[in-house]
Structure 1
Amino acid sequence: MQDTPTLNTPRFEMRKLVRQDAAALFSTLSDDAQCLYMSRGAFGSEAELADWLTDPTWPGRTWIAVDRTTGAVAGRYVAFPGRDDGVFEVGYVTVIDYQGRGAAKECMIALMSHLFEREQRRRVYAEIDAENAASIALAESLGLVREGCLREHETTHKGLCDMVIYGALRREWRAPQASTI
């Protein structure tokens, strides 16, 4: 697995996840409403969440955004290899207390800029539950292009779901300005 470097934004330090981060994420990821659009339902215990977050067979990398002012965890951001070289899928979960405050956009700009500029990935995409309006709005605010809808693509804890694909190519990537966060 590739190294997970520390990334910096104006408000957050994004560092590699450690098992103890499950404690800060548990209140969000144990809430059924917060997990509605995830591929699995809410976690029943902090230990179960910690095991899932640190599964050694998962091929991706996870960053935890830590608020520079308070030291609080603001969210989890992931990147994992797609089916082809140079392609990565990204994902994000924002802690309840940071939702609606621009944390996900700020951190995703940093992550996508890193993937395109430092790692020279050619394509980054997000697969989003078609009913997840907030996540779709975030993808669009980042300048990702809606590439299609995979109908009845995934069975999750809530049933059969349509998934929309949003993507960006390195040659097209222009990070949104900080003033738009």
Structure 2
Amino acid sequence: MNYHDSVLTYAQMLQADGGWLAEELAWTVLMPTSGTLPLNEVAQRVARSNQPAFVEGDFEDAAAANAVVVEATGDGAMVVDINMIAATPDPEFVAEISTNAKVWHVSWHTALSRRMIYAVNRRVLAVIPLLDPAEAFGEDLSAIQPELDALADTQTAPWPTTEATALSLIETRTGARLSLDWFEQPHRAVTVSY
């Protein structure tokens, strides 16, 4: 699927089924800087525990257990939190879990600001508050210049173009993908206790 088709697909996903995903979503993808990134290690980082507890079920089950979905994707893993249970929207947390990894994060909440974060090896290279490149800051914005340009082109576009573009940019960079079908399936989630 090319980039523009991907943006359209994500826009359709955000508008489907009453648009519940448009209200709240946090998607974080970790890709190793070399080798692979074991799923259990990602779960330990996200749970901040050497003995993470897992639950199986749908997203309602995960929310009831104070858990977020952690799933393998290629050589890395993704963390999906539709109830803002974890600290993934926090740049410091994204930096913390990025040891030996490139981490892409996008999130929004009806009561909180939208944002995109990119961190590598415990360094926050870019934070894009409000998904607006004019607000971006970080150690190396040039590392995500194509993403900044793509988001800049959406600032006057109708909703949900900016959010769909952010999701598509992460898919393009990592190969990870979200879909409505994926959200309807049961998943393994890790309990978060902080």
> One fold, TM greater than 0.5?
no
Q: Whose relative contact order is higher, 1 or 2, with alpha carbons under 8 Å and at least 6 apart?
A: 2
User: When you count strand as a share of all residues, which structure comes out higher?
Assistant: 1
So what's the TM-score if we normalise by structure 2? 0.30
